[in-house]
Amino acid sequence: MTTPTLAPVLMVQGTSSSVGKSLLVTGLCRLFADTGVRVAPFKAQNMSNNAAVTDTGGEIGRAQWVQARAARVRPRVEMNPVLLKPESNHRSQVILLGHPLATLDYRDYRNRREETWPAITAALDTLRAEHDLVIIEGAGSPAETNLRDRDVVNMAIALYASAPVLLAGDIDRGGVFAHLYGTWALVAPEERALIRGFILNKFRGDATLLTPAIDDLQRLTGIPTAGIVPWFPRHEIPEEDAVSLETRPSDRTEAWRGVDVAVLRFPRIANFDDLDPLAAEPDVRVRWVESAAEWGNPDLVILPGTKSTIADLDWLRAQGLEGHLRASVNAGAGVLGLCGGYQMLGRSLADPARVEGDREYADGLGLLPVTTVFAPGKRTAQSRAAVVGDRGLLEGARGIAVTGYEIHAGQTSKATPAVTLPDGAPVGATDEGGWVFGCYLHGLLHNTDLRRRLLTNLADRRKRQYSPAPPRDDEAAFDRLAVALRASLDLRLLTELTGVAL
């Protein structure tokens, strides 16, 4: 039996989390795909509640799903064999090759490396056997020496694949040269030998001013700087995890006449890129709200998805937000609950098997006539559905076809349906007036016709200004990113490392 030839790999690691690794890999996937090679993304282990569903029903990190689209290939579970979905500060649900393995604390998870590592390496080998090039993304920093013995996502996978590594640092936050040098100095000698270039990411200013420091860094390490990548303030590509919300602008300073949207920033928020299409609307202001002082007078309140529904419902109440929510409803604001937010809007949430946490029961907010029961097992599916409601937020929307994906453990009782699957099963419901709307479909607001109808209805009711934004072009965003990387990276070095002529 002939052993398949394995494709070359290129790896992007970072000096810390949030230095822009995911965006760099996305751009590299499109850059190489434009040459005609079959390229695939890979991240051995991802910690994020921002997940996506493949066409086989498996969960992967949203970033790898986006990277696959940039590479013009089908997203698949091998691209992110381990996904950790935090449920609290101490435990995460472990998704292995797209499906739940267990819910573990960190110490227990560390002891499962013998189970996860073979799946990780087999997934990478599969991608390498079926593609011409694989772009690997690391996580956090490889210089966390306390984690080295159980590493699966940084230098461990780089050593396994003999991957040349580009080490990226965030120059916008300052101290990037110390971060790059310190990371290089702290990794083991055999790991250090894999680092072939540094990337200065998120740069704003005159690049010529960096020359002395770049020269010093190369003199100290022997490693060249592979590129100075510019800052992308609005790249229009979904972010990997909720860290990005900490720096996302929450308001606009001018007097606002458009639609004001308050989104609850739950501690375990999931799939927050559901809200990206609203933020791209010029007549919509999206504010992330964590306290009563930030509430204001919203036209629409959104309860987004969450990995820990009952715990985040407790948080909502502890922050004093329930009373503000009810006051907004009484004042004529609309309410939209997505997935876990939909479940919260019902009358009750029961978790007899303690699937999501330690609480077996919680009273819901009572704004929708539904109840939810959690049970072992999870529905993960890409879904096509149709709007059947025609009141309130959905007035005039009946018959609109929508697509999205479902990731939820709870089953919600049937109410008067607002959105149904082809077999008639409801995945969304409204209250009697239609101004409180809950739906299980992530990606609901990415459906342009529905989003425009919902915002138009809301603006008419609240006497707000709203003109629909032009349709979003994700392909154009990928292309712009690839063009920027082509202009800012050392293409000769990339060609040398991958064997692919750029």
Catalytic residues: 339, 442
Structure tokens at 210: 């960096």
**Residues pairing with 262 in the sheet:** 287, 301
Measure CA 201 to chain center: 20
Neighbours of 420 (CB within 10 A): 16
Of 393, 389, 365, 392, nearest in space to 303 by CA: 365
SS (H, E, C) 99-144: EEEEEEEHHHHHCCHHHHHHHHHHHHHHHHHHCCEEEEECCCCCCC
Task: Using the CB atoms, write b or e for 199-227: b if 16+ within 10 Å.
Answer: bbbbbeeeeeebeeebeebeeebebebbb
Q: Which helix (H) or strand (E) holds 296?
A: none
Structure tokens at 355: 């699937």
* Tokens 């990337």 -> residue: 199
Please give the radius of gyration of the chain, using alpha carbons only, rounded to the nearest integer. Answer: 23
* Tokens 């309410």 -> residue: 335
